[in-house]
């Protein structure tokens, strides 16, 4: 995949994870004990041999810059190509208003022009998956597609699946993998309208990964921006449906799109299935993240931990079930944690009981306190809160 | 141009002796230098010395290698993990090498330093700190250097109080009330003091250089600091002081002491605290997902690292990254090194399982026969250096009998068979 | 100097170098053949043993981020402390308006609090000097100063000196190095007023380097921001002149403050004095910059280069006098370059004549063209121009 | 876990032989391995091979060191300068080391590879590329590897056409029209072909392994690729091909060839273009200010690096970083290595001045007596390895007579006296 450049698009972010994204973009939300959301798609690109990767941010990008730094931990600190970050409005004056993804691309057109790769893959950042980009490229070439859009089909009936197929870019797939029609389902569509569209023909959802020739992307950017259009999908894809060969590639492995607190909570707990764990972290490649120094987990005398993921440097003397513990969490004797996600450097004191909660970084729950949410409505506690 | 030119000058250069074979660690050091042996669920032994250097503010460190250095070289690199990839100074790996006159291997600890005099001289140091790469401890060398300067010593030797009963197993220093060294005794039958040398020395470089060169001329010398250099300096009335160190310190040169040092970490409040962020032990960090403990797991009084998957019961044990433990398996008092795959219904007791070993379902690793030479180390610790995958399991393979349960062959979920080590 | 943290303040920048700062902050302006302005003060801090350095930017910081990256080339890529960059308005929403330096500091108060050093040195970024911070610290401690301000005295009568003393923060030094009074001379003061102030007593100019205890800085920030004041000098220093012991430290070595195109041009040519060259680049320490791969300079058969500075990877077959050539400049046969500054990757074709010009990066002057400015009014040619 | 596990597998591993003493370079390699000798005003010789690897897309390189490796180790580090500080692969420095059975120095090129079989095996490569660290050239090894695969060869040897008149100085390969090697001739009196081996080999690893092990058993072997392994493979009818290379290539094993290769760079359009950004030669970049040419300087047909200050005249010469040239001084046909300080009114002709040397005012470096053994190298090139600061200058010091001008001692502006190199 030396001939493909990667672009990660953070422009679509709309603070869907309120409460844990106050100080960070969605892409920098901690996930799975030691990662940030962006690690999954970024590592997938690296594992596919993509060596030129850029990230187009929208706002609040400091957390992301701190996380990625020079790209060294993803092996992207390179003399040629490597990792690039483009922030809005810092090129000329900082008075410019953010207009859309295509505007960001247009502002950095020289970078895209100069890049030596022939193909480009564009991806959203909020995808939890270990994605095989090589297969998409093979599909793209085999189908002689102008644009390939990766989609998922509904295959289970879980509540969370329902949500997933109730929004976003929905595809109507025609013959020969060609997309016959597509529509962006907005949040304010009525449920009955959504159902109708889905049942009719728009029953495949784009996951937010697109592949095309770099030259075509340049054409789309120039043509759209010249007319004052700034949306890649609506202005670049849908308006050109008639003239371009746009194909759909079906992704079949594990993939979760994190776009709400509920999906964050649910998909975090997905990882407690050992098959998902194995698939997500090892297949086809490893997921990289910013490495941190820290000793192993210490299980004390009274520890009882079941069906849980635990990151390094935790010290556990309590009971933990169906939960995810990030780095340096302390669980004292007598504490009980169930169906919860506990972020970095949080301390759970003696005899605390937690169920269906999400604690952000550096929270402290003092002796004997109890917090309980519901699976579809977890209690979220903000960074550095003391309860 | 005062400072521009002086940039390379360093007050003190540290030299870590990391070339020893560590033959008493048997199979553990067959393809690995002793300082590279895994320790504490995450580290390699040399991490402690390197982290001590960094935490003490020393940024110029030579690591003397000789025996099986590849893993150590790859591990240390240019020292980035210990923040020592500095423009001026940093970590240098120093293997023996050929000169115009030919080359020779390091004959002893003192000879190793002698052969690298050019390296040390390039920093024009006032002092040289000599360290071993195979001790587990946390020590602020800058305090010892202050002590050395304050005493205007030519040589300072770090000492630790050991129990009187054990003193005869150590090199003992007899000092006056000011800490001045009066006498050395190597493993004295009747020790006069319980101050044991820790193998940590500070020398004034100009003085040491003379002694090294002198010592090289002496054909009877074993070119060793403890046996030759230090006694000679004392004899010739050089100012030599003992620096008293308090805290945890352990030489992990034997299977037993290595095992004990690992177990020490499992105390409720261990003397050596790995979780203290003020004196952190740094290491190369593996890239593994968080550990997964299944519904059937039972883990307590243990250290477990990332990438482990545990279905069985683990008590008072240390698990390195990427270990798999099947259902129904019981592990107790054991050290399980990286990427070991353990099947179901296995029993492991008081054992060290080497990196990458695979243990098939139903095996039992803990020799019942106390006199069995193959399985028992001195301390009754089984060291397993080879996978058990076949049915022909015998004591001869340093492995111990299967349980009565039918042998099924290990099939981990998606794990390949580990590499065979012995 | 382990006990001192460094802060580099870019907030005062006002695009004084129009023409060569369209895409970059003043701090990122190329200087002396291979450096950026910020390299001088940053290297000085590093050479003094300051290990915790932060840069507070105002706008257009991408060029600076690209230049500094992880800080590796300044030996600042560290596990503890190291290099930090703080951009305005990215902490919360990007709607916030830039109010002033103290606001930026206030927004990142947690970083300052957490830093373990007891003292802080704050410096502007547009200073060309090899500064000895250790002497300032010694002075500060010896004089038991609350704040030490570094100043220069007028010692020559060159035109450029005149300019230097006609603006900025001017000090009236009393006894025992204590500052009796100070005044900020604004650009719109009449020349006669400036002269009067200067001749009266305000005859020492602050170079923009301040040292104080971290605790005092925190007090000044909190007190000022609470009242809606955001200027360090006017609100923090001048208003507290009566209650604080503010001392002045006289800097005697080479120091140039680059705040106009003319001063940029003149001070660049200062370097053609070998004593200045020696002083600036070696004494007390080396000046670091982003390293770049490139072969040595190649002098061809017709090369004639005198009294000039030449950076690596240039190929010269023409005549160069009293000029500065950045990396990868090509000078063809028959070309004549005098009193000029030629930035990176510029090509000067055959028989071109240039005098008193500043060419930005990647300019191309085609065969036989002539450009001529005056020493006090150099011709400036923008990036990538072809003439 | 297909790819997760396969991560370390590499199609081809490169091994650079960098352990040679290079004794024909005399004083230049007294304290320095040959591949670390400075070249071309900026580089060290090994930069060309390392850059070729990087530009060819090879990211796994072993560098075999033995003789005076410290400068080389420090220089290469983990390969960051060549963008080879990669997570998987990268550069590994491979000195000889001790095993359980003891240690031995590298006996020959083949033995050096044999001793590092474990290292190569850890990447499970299909092919191994064997390179020398002392040739100046730009070559795309990936094309040669394609050729090797296409020919289904077991061994491929890169060859270059040399002038027929010089062919008898090289190892010559005779091939059929398809490039298949039929015969080797080492320095043949009457060469049948003008295809000379460049010392660049690709082997199929499994086949090479066998031959290395076989060769080690042969007590008469010198354990060398050119003399032993390749002839044996040919004799046993292994498929061996010659890969024709076109372009600049030079072995810089002698003073004369080193000097010539430097001078070749000064042609108006040199065959080896250092300014071509498509195949850049990477090196560790010094941190020096831009060079300063004063009002009296006169420089042409020369390469001059950063940090130089020039008041005199420099023609057809190569100047490394940090060189100072005083007023009235004339330098011609010379190579001036880093940080050399040359006073006023000095004359230097056809010479190589070693790193850090200082030459006092008025000295003349260019022996007038053609028969003088001390000053003249074979090619009439003076190599100056020692500073001239006193008045007792004689031929014996490999330095040549002062001009008649009164000796004044060198006082550079703020420069300290360079270190004495012998």
Q: A114-128 burial string, b = 16+ CB within 10 Å, else e?
A: ebebebbbbbbbbbb
pLDDT of C266 reads: 87
- For chain A, domains (ranges, CATH) are 4-282 (3.90.550.10), 298-381 (2.160.10.10)
Residue-wise pLDDT for D270-309, tens only, equals 999 999 988 999 999 888 999 999 999 999 999 999 999 9
Asked if C92 and A60 come within 8 Å (Cβ–Cβ), the reply is: yes
A363-377, D211-225, D393-407: range with lowest mean pLDDT: D393-407
All chains having 3 or more CB pairs closer than 8 angstroms to chain C: A, B, D
pLDDT of A146 reads: 95
Asked if A283 and D3 come within 8 Å (Cβ–Cβ), the reply is: yes
Residue that wins the pLDDT comparison between B405 and A63: A63
- Using a 10 angstrom Cβ sphere, with 0-12 exposed, 13-18 middle and 19 or more buried, the burial of residue A206 is buried
Q: B169-180 burial string, b = 16+ CB within 10 Å, else e?
A: ebbbbebeeebe
Per-chain mean pLDDT for chain D = 84
Strand partners, A149: A210, A248
Residue that wins the pLDDT comparison between C31 and B413: C31
pLDDT of B97 reads: 87
Find the mean pLDDT for residues C350-359.
94
A115-129, C358-372, D80-94: range with lowest mean pLDDT: D80-94
Matching residue, tokens 């040169």: B253
Asked if A324 and B290 come within 8 Å (Cβ–Cβ), the reply is: yes
Contacts of D281 in chain C (CB under 8 A): 295
Count of C-D CB contacts under 8 Å: 108
Please report which confidence band the pLDDT of residue B401 belongs to, taking 50, 70 and 90 as the band edges.
very low
Nearest partner of A321 among A335, A333, A300, judged by Cα: A335
Question: Does pLDDT of B409 surpass 80?
Answer: no
Phi-psi bin for A19: left (phi > 0), alpha (psi -120 to 50), beta?
Answer: left
pLDDT of B374 reads: 46
Asked if D86 and A285 come within 8 Å (Cβ–Cβ), the reply is: no
Contacts of A293 in chain C (CB under 8 A): 79
45-64 in chain A: CB under 8 A from chain D: 47
Find the mean pLDDT for residues C347-367.
94
pLDDT of B369 reads: 54
pLDDT of A21 reads: 64
Among chain B residues, CA nearest to C285: B4
Nearest partner of B33 among C347, D379, D95, A178, judged by Cα: D95
Strand partners, C321: C306, C338
C71-80, C156-165, D327-336: range with lowest mean pLDDT: C156-165
d(CA B62, nearest CA chain D) in Å: 11
C-interface mutation test, from A54, A56, A62, most C Cβ less than 10 A away:
A62
pLDDT of C160 reads: 58
Strand partners, B160: B196, B245
Question: Does pLDDT of C19 surpass 90?
Answer: no
Question: Does pLDDT of D317 surpass 80?
Answer: yes
Question: Does pLDDT of C382 surpass 80?
Answer: yes
DSSP 8-state assignment for residue C235: I
Of D4, D83, D282, the CB nearest to A285: D4
Per-chain mean pLDDT for chain B = 84
Distance separating alpha carbons of residues D97 and B65, to the nearest angstrom: 8
Contacts of C295 in chain D (CB under 8 A): 40-42, 274-275, 281, 303
Please report which confidence band the pLDDT of residue B5 belongs to, taking 50, 70 and 90 as the band edges.
very low
Asked if D283 and C293 come within 8 Å (Cβ–Cβ), the reply is: yes
324-353 in chain C: CB under 8 A from chain D: 324-325
Distance separating alpha carbons of residues A166 and B365, to the nearest angstrom: 55
pLDDT of D378 reads: 55
Find the mean pLDDT for residues D224-242.
92
Asked if A62 and C87 come within 8 Å (Cβ–Cβ), the reply is: yes
Asked if B74 and D92 come within 8 Å (Cβ–Cβ), the reply is: yes
Asked if B293 and A293 come within 8 Å (Cβ–Cβ), the reply is: no
d(CA C253, nearest CA chain D) in Å: 16
Q: Establish if A31 touches chain B: CB-CB under 8 angstroms.
A: no
Question: Alpha carbon of D207 to those of A306, D203, D238: distances in Å?
Answer: 51, 7, 9
pLDDT of C189 reads: 75
Question: Does pLDDT of B32 surpass 70?
Answer: yes
pLDDT of D120 reads: 94
pLDDT of D386 reads: 76
Q: C55-75 burial string, b = 16+ CB within 10 Å, else e?
A: bbbbbbbbbbbebbbbbbbbb
Among chain A residues, CA nearest to B305: A296
Asked if C306 and D294 come within 8 Å (Cβ–Cβ), the reply is: yes
Q: Establish if A156 touches chain D: CB-CB under 8 angstroms.
A: no
pLDDT of A353 reads: 95
pLDDT of D6 reads: 46
Q: Establish if B189 touches chain C: CB-CB under 8 angstroms.
A: no
Residue that wins the pLDDT comparison between B374 and A161: A161
Listed in sequence order, the DSSP H helices in B25-161 are 46-55, 70-76, 109-115, 117-121, 141-150
Please report which confidence band the pLDDT of residue C372 belongs to, taking 50, 70 and 90 as the band edges.
very high
Contacts of D315 in chain C (CB under 8 A): none
pLDDT of B375 reads: 47
Print pLDDT tens along chain A (387 aa).
789 999 999 876 666 666 666 667 788 889 999 999 999 999 999 999 999 999 998 777 778 888 988 888 998 988 888 999 887 754 444 445 667 888 888 888 889 998 999 999 999 998 999 999 999 999 999 999 999 999 988 766 565 566 677 778 888 888 889 998 888 887 777 777 777 777 778 888 899 999 999 999 999 999 998 888 888 988 999 999 999 999 999 998 889 888 888 888 888 998 999 888 988 999 888 999 998 899 999 999 999 999 999 999 999 999 999 999 999 999 999 999 999 999 999 999 999 999 999 999 999 999 999 999 988 788 889 888 998
Asked if C297 and D291 come within 8 Å (Cβ–Cβ), the reply is: yes
d(CA C280, nearest CA chain B) in Å: 11
Q: What percent of chain B has pLDDT over 90?
A: 55
Strand-pair category, C179-185 with C168-173: antiparallel
Listed in sequence order, the DSSP H helices in B169-220 are 205-217
Asked if C34 and D290 come within 8 Å (Cβ–Cβ), the reply is: yes
DSSP 8-state assignment for residue A355: E
pLDDT of B415 reads: 26
d(CA A377, nearest CA chain C) in Å: 26
B-interface mutation test, from A297, A316, A328, most B Cβ less than 10 A away:
A297
Count of A-D CB contacts under 8 Å: 24
Q: Establish if D95 touches chain B: CB-CB under 8 angstroms.
A: yes
Of D4, D83, D86, the CB nearest to A286: D4
Matching residue, tokens 């050596």: B272
The answer to whether the CB of A85 falls within 8 A of the CB of A68 is: yes
Contacts of A69 in chain C (CB under 8 A): 70
Asked if A282 and D1 come within 8 Å (Cβ–Cβ), the reply is: yes
Distance separating alpha carbons of residues C63 and C45, to the nearest angstrom: 21
Question: Does pLDDT of B1 surpass 70?
Answer: no
Asked if B4 and C286 come within 8 Å (Cβ–Cβ), the reply is: yes
All chains having 3 or more CB pairs closer than 8 angstroms to chain A: B, C, D
Among chain A residues, CA nearest to B273: A295
Nearest partner of A8 among A93, A91, A76, judged by Cα: A76
Distance separating alpha carbons of residues A145 and A173, to the nearest angstrom: 14
Distance separating alpha carbons of residues A316 and A115, to the nearest angstrom: 49
Find the mean pLDDT for residues B238-245.
94
Distance separating alpha carbons of residues C185 and C190, to the nearest angstrom: 10
DSSP letters spanning D328-341: T-EEES-EE-TT-E
Residue-wise pLDDT for D97-120, tens only, equals 888 777 888 989 999 999 999 999
Residue-wise pLDDT for B99-154, tens only, equals 877 888 898 999 999 999 999 998 999 999 999 998 999 999 999 999 999 999 99
Distance separating alpha carbons of residues D108 and D114, to the nearest angstrom: 10
Distance separating alpha carbons of residues A365 and A262, to the nearest angstrom: 22
Q: Establish if A70 touches chain B: CB-CB under 8 angstroms.
A: no
Distance separating alpha carbons of residues A360 and A357, to the nearest angstrom: 10
Of C32, C33, C299, the CB nearest to D304: C299
Of D3, D7, D83, the CB nearest to A78: D83
């Amino acid at each position: 995949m030396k001939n493909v450049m990667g672009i990660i698009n953070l422009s679509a972010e709309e603070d869907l994870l309120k409460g844990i994204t106050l100080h960070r973009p969605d892409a920098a939300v901690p996930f799975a004990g030691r990662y940030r959301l962006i690690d999954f798609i970024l590592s997938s690109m690296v594992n596919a041999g993509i060596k030129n990767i850029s990230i187009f941010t929208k706002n609040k990008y400091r957390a992301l810059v701190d996380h990625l730094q020079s790209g060294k931990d993803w092996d992207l600190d390179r003399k040629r190509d490597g990792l690039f970050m483009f922030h809005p409005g810092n090129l000329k004056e900082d008075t410019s208003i953010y207009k859309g993804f295509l505007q960001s691309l247009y502002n950095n057109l020289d970078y895209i022009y100069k890049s030596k790769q022939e193909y480009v893959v564009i991806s959203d950042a909020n995808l939890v998956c270990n994605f095989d980009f090589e297969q998409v490229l093979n599909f793209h070439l085999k189908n002689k597609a102008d644009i390939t859009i990766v989609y998922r089909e509904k295959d289970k009936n879980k509540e969370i699946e329902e949500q997933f197929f109730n929004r976003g870019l929905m595809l109507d797939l025609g013959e020969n993998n060609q997309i016959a029609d597509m529509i962006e389902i907005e949040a304010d569509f009525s449920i009955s309208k959504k159902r109708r569209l889905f049942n009719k023909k728009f029953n495949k959802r784009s996951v937010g990964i697109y592949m095309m020739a770099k030259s075509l992307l340049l054409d789309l950017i120039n043509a759209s921006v010249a007319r004052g259009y700034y949306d890649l999908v609506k202005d670049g894809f849908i308006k050109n449906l008639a003239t371009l060969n746009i194909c759909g590639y079906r992704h079949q492995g594990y993939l979760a799109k994190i776009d709400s607190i509920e999906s964050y909570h649910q998909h975090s707990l997905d990882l407690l299935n050992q098959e998902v764990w194995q698939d997500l972290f090892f297949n086809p490649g490893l997921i990289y993240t910013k490495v941190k120094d820290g000793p192993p987990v210490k299980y004390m005398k009274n520890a009882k931990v079941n069906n849980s993921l635990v990151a390094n440097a935790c010290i556990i003397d309590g009971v933990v079930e169906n939960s995810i513990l990030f780095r340096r969490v302390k669980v004292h004797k007598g504490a009980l944690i169930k169906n919860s996600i506990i972020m970095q450097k949080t301390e759970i004191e003696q005899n605390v009981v937690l169920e269906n909660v999400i604690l952000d970084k550096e929270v402290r729950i003092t002796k004997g306190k109890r917090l309980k949410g519901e699976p579809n409505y977890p209690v979220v506690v903000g960074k550095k809160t003391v309860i | 141009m005062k400072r521009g030119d002086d940039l390379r000058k360093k007050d003190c250069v540290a030299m870590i002796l990391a070339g020893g074979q560590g033959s008493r660690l048997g199979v553990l050091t067959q393809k690995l230098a002793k300082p590279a042996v895994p320790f504490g669920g995450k580290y390699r032994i040399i991490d402690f010395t390197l982290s001590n250097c960094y935490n003490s503010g020393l940024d110029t460190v030579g690591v003397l290698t000789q025996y099986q250095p590849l893993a150590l070289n790859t591990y240390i690199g240019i020292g980035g993990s210990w923040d020592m990839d500095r423009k001026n100074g940093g970590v240098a790996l120093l293997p023996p090498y050929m000169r115009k006159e030919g080359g020779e291997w390091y004959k002893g600890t003192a000879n190793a330093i002698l052969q690298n005099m050019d390296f040390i001289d390039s920093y024009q140091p006032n002092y040289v700190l000599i360290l071993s790469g195979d001790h587990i401890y946390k020590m602020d060398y800058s305090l010892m250097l202050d002590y050395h300067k304050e005493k205007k010593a030519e040589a300072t030797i770090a000492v630790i109080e050991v129990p009187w009963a054990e003193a005869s197993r150590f090199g003992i220093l007899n000092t006056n009330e000011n800490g001045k060294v009066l006498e050395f005794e190597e493993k004295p039958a009747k020790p006069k003091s319980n101050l044991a040398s820790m193998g940590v020395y500070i020398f004034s470089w100009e003085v040491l250089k003379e002694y090294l060169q002198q010592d090289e001329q002496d054909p009877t010398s074993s070119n060793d600091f403890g046996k030759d250099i230090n006694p000679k300096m004392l004899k010739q009335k050089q100012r030599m002081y003992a620096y008293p160190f308090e805290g945890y310190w352990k030489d992990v040169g034997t299977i037993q002491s290595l095992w004990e040092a690992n177990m020490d970490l499992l105390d409720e409040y261990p003397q050596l605290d790995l979780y203290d962020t003020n004196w952190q032990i740094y290491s190369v960090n593996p890239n593994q997902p968080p550990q997964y403990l299944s519904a059937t797991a039972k883990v307590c009084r243990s250290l477990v690292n990332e990438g482990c998957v545990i279905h069985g019961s683990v008590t008072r044990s240390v698990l390195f990254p990427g270990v798999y433990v099947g259902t129904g398996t019981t592990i107790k008092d054991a050290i399980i090194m990286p990427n070991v795959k353990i099947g179901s219904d296995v029993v492991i007791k008081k054992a060290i399982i080497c990196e990458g070993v695979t243990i098939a379902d139903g095996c039992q690793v803990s020799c019942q026969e106390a006199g069995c030479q193959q399985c028992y180390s001195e301390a009754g610790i089984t060291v397993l250096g080879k996978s058990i995958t076949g049915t022909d399991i015998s004591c001869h393979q340093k492995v111990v009998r299967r349980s009565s349960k039918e042998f099924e062959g290990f099939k981990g979920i998606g794990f390949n068979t580990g590499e065979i080590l012995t």
